[in-house]
């Protein structure tokens, strides 16, 4: 479903060019979950951003459902992010001025794929029923992340990209959120590529990739 | 647009607007900026329109300021209704009939009765040359013009004679005047006014004393002369005081100031829109992460801008209307009176004005949103994720702004030598103002950088304050630019109005120094001066003619060099002993010319002008230029004898008389005895007092507008401060956690703010002076050919300093109050996330 080959990316710095990813390749199948592990600065988020179309690789190719993303236009990327790719961030990225209900249905509405029954299932499964009319700022970190997860899955995307979704949460909350994420991703039949530096969190997922010195290795 | 996209845009707009639901203060400031900007601009338009209406009203109502008169030539003759009607039917709608009669009441009081046909008054001129044909007569006006008619009695006269509304004055012949209504117009003086039909009944006559004629073009004047029947003569009113021409300059410049106020309002909007966009940066980034393209975002933001513009324009238009009514009580009070329908402010606040304001506002808002969208388009989503507001004001941007400021000011310096039209002048003003406004942030940055560097390390609090200025500057720079423009506009208008007031008052005092001005075909001037030597202090009989010189109408006037108004004639530019040289008339034939000859015809002091005389062209040497405000023609003064020598056809141009005790009423019987008809003389003191009243009214309104403009800038500052503190609350909570107390916080945050306002205020002083100098010394001369002395006063500077300080204290205290209120909550959050 998602395949990237020979991806390279680096950034110009005042003291020269800094390579981050060096000829990395990988593949995630439909319904599969993959953890991307590595130390700070190893390029985990960069790889996630490239796959999400938030940044452009220097070299390499990417395919999603056999559609080439290498030379995709901005419009194509926008449509993909609206309908097929979802993002979950460490700091939630919720709209602070919309209530929980509007937040979790927003992406589905923008994609024109709102399924109220499925949304209600997600709300129930994620324990958000009593929180729907509050604002994100009134929720705890764990609650906010559950809203973000619901939002990312409400339109049943093909691929969920999560960037350290439990990084801001305490251990117990992180475990709860992780369980729910895996559970909901499976319910939506989506694939998951998750960046984390925690082996404990990575253990929840089907496969584990390690990024070291810009190179990708699988366990 | 596809339904899918439409739904998407609606949802994006809903997301964007939800920001204001949670931050209503920002919405209020945004609307306030738009509304106040539009309101001020509308109010200035309204006031300018109203003032022009007043001037035209003054001219037309009195008849004394008619540009021409049509008088009968024979002894005791009158203008017949038939002749008047024939001329009107020929299309001369500029004419209106007048009866001016001296009546004695049964109580032996002498009164002057003025009657005209109100339907014939060419009041359409009063509406800024609008051709709208609204009838001026509504409500009470109908009662005024239909039996039993009404007599408009000035309140002061009514109180003197003990007349109450509804009373009827009885004349010595037993005739009774229509019921009195107390209704004074400043131009009416102490005269009773009735409709022409009422005058016919009371005076038992069916003809007019003379016809008044409003301004005519040269061709119309020629046509009217040819159309005049036998026995009627068209004469130019030599003493007409065209207030509209006099004040055109003031109004053009006030209009410019109105636009400036509008621009200040737009700065607030610019600030508010940009700030609200920066506040929503995270939301915009999230939307992009969710697949909303830049095109969809731009469209949604443009729709939001349209929404605010329309709302702001409507509210601003409404507020402008209210403001106009508030500032012009005479407008409201006159609604039901004689000219009510004409002077109503709605006449000037038209749909065209609102549309203009809406377009300007939309343009301003679009410019405000275009920048952030353009920046977003250039950055990837990943870059946007890591962007904060502080990063928006980088040294690179500072450099670009400095270069733009230098470029604009340099362009202005070069352009200064090229200006030869009013529009050029305003372009120059715009270059200077915007160049200076752009230079302010780099100047502030430089000032704080220097201050921070020069402070010893032990003054750590002050050093911190100076460094904090760099955090505040990105948020406050637009507000400071708005404040600068408002201060400059204030100083500019104050100086302009002050200069106008002094120049016009001085000039009017000399020009209208005589108590009475007589222009009569039947007056025996010698007899008058002989029979009343004890009443007359001095007199000045002028002669003159009009000719063309340098393809422009030119007035030649023969004057008495020893008359009081000539001995103190104010000269704008002159050679030493110019007045005595001119009075003695040496072989070089010294002549005095009006300033227009200098500025428009390019004649310099000491140069010769060749004038066409009866014996051919004769050279005269210009020894001085006199002020001649509002005169669109060239004018030359020569001693009367010299004029008679070169132009045999020079005609008498009226007689100015200075009375011993300034009691015109006691002198009127002498005028009548010497052959003058009622209506042949003008009470100059009355006329001057009216002129000054009208000026003062305009000036008072201008002062109020000035204060409001500063208020708009105050709102900008307030809005920016509120936003900055909201944004930095988390930071303040950190400081508090570190142990920074309230006094230290005030010093660190308030110190730079006070410094910025001080630098802005200091920069505004020279800029205000430059603005006034450009308006008065350059643009005015280019536009009208006359100058006036620049009257710089520190009084408005002191007033502004006080007002700005009060605004600063008020906004500072409010900000402090809000921060104090929100800080505990911020501290709790700090604990929660630490």
**Lowest-confidence range among B120-124, B271-275, B381-385?**
B120-124
Range of weakest confidence among A24-28, B100-104, B332-336, B664-668: B332-336
Q: Is the pLDDT of residue B599 over 80?
A: yes
Residue A121 belongs to a domain: yes
* Average pLDDT for chain B: 78
B559 against B505, higher pLDDT: B559
- Residue B332 — φ and ψ, nearest 5°? -65, -45
Instruction: Note whether residue A10 is domain-resident.
Output: no
Q: How many distinct structural domains can be found in chain A?
A: 1
Q: Which residues of chain A have pLDDT under 70?
A: none
- Range with lowest mean pLDDT among B438-447, B640-649, B718-727: B718-727
Chain A residues with beta carbon closer than 8 angstroms to that of B296: 78
> Phi then psi for B423, rounded to 5 degrees?
-65, -40
Give the pLDDT score at B709: 73
In A12-61, alpha helices (H)? 44-52
Asked if the Cβ–Cβ distance from B380 to A83 is below 8 Å, we say no
Residues of B whose CB is below 8 A from A94: 286
The confidence score (pLDDT) of residue B173 equals: 78
Closest CA to B136 of B344, B414, B289: B344
Distance from C-alpha of B777 to C-alpha of B765, rounded to nearest angstrom: 18
Mean pLDDT of B188-203: 81
Separation of first and last alpha carbons in chain A: 20
Asked if the structure places residue A126 within a domain, the reply is yes
Mean pLDDT of B316-330: 72
Q: Are B357 and B261 in contact (CB under 8 A)?
A: no
Which is more confidently placed, B246 or B716? B716
Euclidean distance between CA atoms B226 and B91, whole angstroms: 13
Report CA-CA distances (Å) from B572 to B333, B578, B592.
41, 12, 11
Query: Is B291–A74 a contact, with Cβ atoms under 8 angstroms apart?
Result: no
How far is it, in rounded angstroms, from Cα B744 to Cα B368? 35
Q: How many Å apart are CA B804 and CA B564, to the nearest integer?
A: 47
**ipTM for the predicted complex:** 0.88
Note the Cα B495 to chain centre separation in Å. 13
CA B101 to chain centre: 37
Q: Which two tokens stand for residue A213?
A: 């010195």
Q: Is B24 on the interface with A (CB under 8 A)?
A: no
- B19–A52: do the CB atoms touch at under 8 Å? no
The CATH number assigned to the domain holding A198 equals: 3.40.50.300
Does B292 touch chain A if contact means CB atoms closer than 8 Å? Answer: yes
Which two structure tokens, joined as six digits, stand for B244? 């509209």
Residue B22: which of A80, A93, A97 has the nearest Cβ? Answer: A97
> Look-up: residue for tokens 């909007």?
B269
Q: Which residues of A touch B11 (CB under 8 A)?
A: 106, 109-110
Alpha helices by DSSP H, listed for B512-639, are 525-531, 564-567, 578-584, 595-599
Which residues lie below 8 Å from residue A174, measured CB to CB, with a gap of 6+? A166, A198, A201
A83 within domain boundaries: yes
CA-angle at B78, arms to B72 and B81, nearest 5° = 110
Residues of chain A with C-beta less than 8 angstroms from the C-beta of B12: 110
In a domain, A11, yes or no: no
User: What is the spatial distance between Cα B176 and Cα B493, in angstroms, rounded to a whole number?
Assistant: 52
Q: Beta-carbon neighbour count of residue B37 at 10 Å?
A: 29
Is the preceding peptide bond at B148 cis, omega within 30 degrees of 0? yes
Residue B73's φ and ψ, nearest 5 degrees, are -90, -30
Task: Report pLDDT digits (tens) over B687-740.
Answer: 777 777 766 766 776 777 777 777 777 777 777 777 777 777 777 877 877 788
CB contact under 8 Å between A82 and B382, yes or no, is no
**A15 in any annotated domain:** no
The 10 Å Cβ neighbour count of residue B829 is: 14
If DSSP codes are grouped into helix, strand and coil, which group holds residue A211?
strand
The per-residue DSSP string of B164-223 comes to -TT---BBTTS-BPPPEEE---GGGTT-EEEEHHHHHHHHT--EESEEEE----HHHHHH
CA–CA gap between residue A96 and residue A82 (Å, rounded): 20
Q: Using CB atoms, which residue from A81, A98, A135 is nearest to B15?
A: A98
Q: What is the pLDDT of residue B98?
A: 86
Please count the residue pairs, one from chain A and one from chain B, whose beta carbons lie less than 8 angstroms apart: 71
Torsion sign (Cα): A89, A90, A91, A96: positive
Share of chain B above pLDDT 90, in %: 12
What is d(CA A69, CA A61) in angstroms, rounded to the nearest whole number? 7
Angle (CA) B411 B416 B422, round 5°: 115
Measured in angstroms, the CA of B395 and the nearest CA of chain A are apart by: 17
**CA nearest neighbour of A171 among A143, A145, A206, A201:** A201
Give the pLDDT score at A193: 95
| Within-domain flag for A89 | yes
What is the pLDDT at residue B324? 72
pLDDT higher than 70, residue B327: no
First to last CA, chain B: 48
Query: DSSP letters along B212-270, please?
Result: EE----HHHHHHHHHHPPTTEEEEE-TT---HHHHHHHHHHHHHHHHHHHHHHHHHHHH
- Mean pLDDT lowest for which of B193-197, B360-364, B425-429, B555-559? B360-364
Provide the pLDDT for residue B249. 59
- A39 neighbors A197 (Cβ within 8 angstroms): yes
Phi/psi region, residue B177 (left: phi>0; alpha: psi -120 to 50; beta: rest), is beta
Cα B773 to Cα B789: distance, rounded to the nearest angstrom: 10
CA A197-A198-A203 angle, to 5 degrees, is: 125
Summarize pLDDT for B770-825 with one digit per residue, the tens. Answer: 888 888 888 877 777 777 888 888 888 888 888 788 878 887 787 778 777 877 77
pLDDT at B136: 36
What is the DSSP track for A163-175?
ESTTTTS-HHHHH
From chain B, pick out residues whose CB is under 8 angstroms from the CB of A55. Answer: 380, 382
CA distance B243 to B238: 14
Quote the tokens at residue A26.
């990988």
The neighbouring-strand residues paired with B112 are B102
* Rounded Cα distance, A210 and A217, in Å: 5
The answer to whether the Cα torsion of B531, B533, B537, B542 is positive or negative is positive
- Give pLDDT, residue B188: 56
Q: Is any Cβ of chain A less than 8 angstroms from the Cβ of B15?
A: yes
Domain that includes residue A153, residue range: 29-54+73-218
From chain B, pick out residues whose CB is under 8 angstroms from the CB of A167: none
Q: Do A97 and B380 touch (CB under 8 A)?
A: no
Mutant choice from B289, B298, B831 vs A, greatest count of A C-beta within 10 A? B289
Domain membership flag for residue A100:
yes
């Amino acid at each position: 479903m998602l395949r990237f080959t020979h991806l390279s990316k680096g950034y110009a710095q005042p003291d020269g060019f800094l390579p981050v990813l060096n000829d990395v390749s990988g593949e995630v199948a439909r319904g599969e979950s993959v953890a991307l592990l590595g130390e700070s600065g190893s390029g985990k988020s960069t790889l996630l951003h490239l796959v999400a179309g938030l940044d452009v690789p220097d070299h390499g190719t990417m395919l999603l459902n056999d559609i080439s993303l290498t030379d995709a236009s901005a419009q194509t990327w926008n449509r993909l992010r609206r309908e097929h790719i979802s993002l979950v961030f460490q700091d939630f990225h919720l709209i602070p001025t919309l209530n929980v209900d509007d937040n979790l249905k927003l992406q589905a509405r923008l994609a024109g794929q709102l399924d109220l029954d499925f949304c209600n299932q997600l709300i129930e499964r994620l324990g958000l029923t009593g929180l729907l009319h509050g604002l994100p700022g009134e929720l705890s970190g764990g609650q906010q992340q559950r809203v973000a997860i619901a939002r990312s899955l409400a339109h049943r995307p093909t691929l969920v990209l999560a960037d350290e979704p439990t990084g801001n949460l305490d251990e117990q909350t992180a475990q709860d959120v992780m369980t729910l994420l895996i559970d909901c991703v499976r319910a939506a039949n989506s694939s998951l590529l998750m960046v984390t530096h925690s082996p404990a969190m990575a253990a929840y997922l089907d496969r584990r990739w390690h990024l070291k010195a810009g190179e990708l290795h699988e366990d | 647009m596809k339904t899918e996209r439409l739904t998407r845009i609606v949802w994006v707009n809903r997301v964007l607007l939800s920001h204001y639901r949670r931050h209503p203060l920002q919405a209020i400031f945004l609307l306030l900026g738009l509304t106040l900007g539009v309101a001020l601009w509308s109010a200035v338009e309204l006031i300018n329109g109203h003032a022009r209406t007043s001037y035209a009203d003054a001219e037309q109502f009195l008849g004394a300021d008619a540009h021409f008169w049509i008088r009968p030539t024979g002894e005791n003759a009158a203008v017949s209704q038939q002749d008047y009607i024939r001329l009107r039917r020929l299309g001369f709608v500029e004419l209106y009939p007048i009866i001016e009669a001296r009546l004695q009441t049964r109580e032996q009081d002498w009164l002057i009765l003025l009657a005209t046909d109100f339907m014939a008054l060419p009041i359409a001129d009063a509406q800024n040359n609008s051709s709208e044909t609204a009838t001026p007569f509504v409500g009470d006006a109908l009662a005024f013009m239909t039996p039993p008619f009404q007599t408009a009695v000035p309140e002061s006269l009514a109180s003197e004679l003990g007349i109450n509304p509804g009373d009827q004055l009885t004349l010595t012949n037993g005739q009774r005047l229509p019921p009195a209504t107390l209704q004074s117009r400043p131009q009416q003086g102490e005269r009773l006014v009735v409709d022409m039909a009422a005058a016919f009944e009371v005076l038992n006559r069916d003809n007019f004393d003379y016809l008044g004629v409003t301004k005519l073009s040269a061709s119309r004047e020629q046509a009217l002369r040819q159309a005049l029947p036998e026995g009627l003569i068209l004469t130019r009113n030599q003493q007409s005081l065209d207030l509209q021409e006099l004040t055109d300059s003031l109004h053009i410049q006030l209009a410019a100031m109105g636009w400036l106020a509008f621009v200040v309002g737009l700065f607030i909007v610019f600030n508010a829109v940009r700030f609200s966009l920066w506040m929503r940066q995270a939301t915009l980034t999230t939307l992009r992460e969710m697949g909303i393209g830049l095109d969809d975002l731009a469209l949604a933001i443009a729709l939001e801008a349209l929404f605010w513009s329309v709302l702001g324009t409507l509210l601003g238009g409404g507020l402008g209307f209210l403001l106009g009514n508030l500032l012009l009580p005479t407008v409201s009070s006159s609604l039901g009176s004689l000219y009510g329908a004409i002077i109503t402010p709605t006449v000037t606040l038209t749909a065209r004005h609102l549309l203009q304001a809406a377009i300007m506002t939309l343009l301003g808002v679009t410019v405000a949103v275009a920048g952030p969208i353009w920046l977003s388009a250039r950055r990837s989503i990943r870059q946007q994720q890591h962007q904060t507001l502080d990063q928006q004001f980088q040294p690179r941007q500072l450099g670009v702004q400095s270069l733009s400021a230098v470029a604009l000011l340099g362009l202005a310096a070069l352009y200064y030598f090229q200006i030869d039209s009013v529009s050029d002048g305003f372009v120059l003003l715009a270059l200077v103002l915007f160049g200076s406004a752009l230079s302010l942030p780099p100047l502030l940055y430089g000032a704080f950088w220097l201050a921070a560097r020069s402070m010893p390390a032990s003054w750590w609090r002050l050093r911190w304050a100076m460094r904090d200025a760099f955090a505040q500057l990105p948020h406050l720079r637009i507000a400071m630019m708005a404040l600068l423009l408002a201060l400059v506009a204030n100083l500019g208008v104050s100086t302009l109005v002050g200069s106008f007031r002094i120049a016009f008052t001085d000039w009017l005092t000399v020009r209208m120094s005589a108590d009475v001005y007589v222009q009569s075909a039947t007056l025996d001037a010698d007899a008058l001066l002989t029979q009343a030597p004890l009443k007359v202090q001095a007199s000045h009989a002028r002669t003159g003619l009009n000719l063309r010189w340098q393809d422009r109408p030119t007035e030649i006037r023969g004057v008495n060099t020893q008359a009081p108004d000539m001995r103190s004639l104010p000269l704008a530019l002159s050679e030493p002993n110019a007045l005595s040289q001119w009075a003695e008339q040496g072989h070089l034939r010294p002549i005095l010319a009006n300033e227009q000859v200098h500025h428009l015809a390019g004649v310099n002091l000491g140069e010769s002008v060749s004038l066409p005389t009866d014996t051919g062209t004769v050279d005269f040497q210009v020894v001085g230029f006199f002020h001649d405000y509002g005169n669109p023609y060239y004018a030359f003064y020569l001693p009367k004898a010299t004029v008679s020598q070169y132009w045999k056809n020079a005609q008498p141009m009226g007689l100015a008389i200075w009375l011993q005790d300034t009691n015109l009423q006691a002198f009127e019987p002498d005028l009548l005895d010497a052959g003058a008809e009622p209506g042949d003389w003008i009470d100059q003191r009355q006329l001057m007092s009216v002129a000054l009243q009208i000026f003062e009214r305009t000036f008072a309104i201008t002062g109020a507008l000035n204060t409001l403009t500063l208020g708009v800038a105050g709102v900008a500052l307030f809005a920016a401060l509120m936003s900055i503190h909201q944004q930095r609350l988390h930071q303040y909570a950190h400081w508090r956690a570190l142990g920074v107390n309230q006094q230290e916080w005030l010093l660190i945050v308030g110190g730079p703010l006070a410094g910025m306002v001080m630098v802005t205020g200091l920069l505004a002083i020279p800029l205000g002076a430059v603005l006034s100098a450009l308006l008065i010394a350059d643009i005015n001369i280019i536009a009208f050919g006359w100058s006036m002395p620049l009257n710089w006063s520190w009084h408005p500077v002191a007033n502004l300093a006080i007002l700005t300080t009060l605004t600063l204290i008020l906004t500072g205290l409010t900000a402090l109050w809000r921060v104090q209120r929100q800080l505990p909550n911020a501290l709790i959050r700090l604990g929660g996330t630490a």
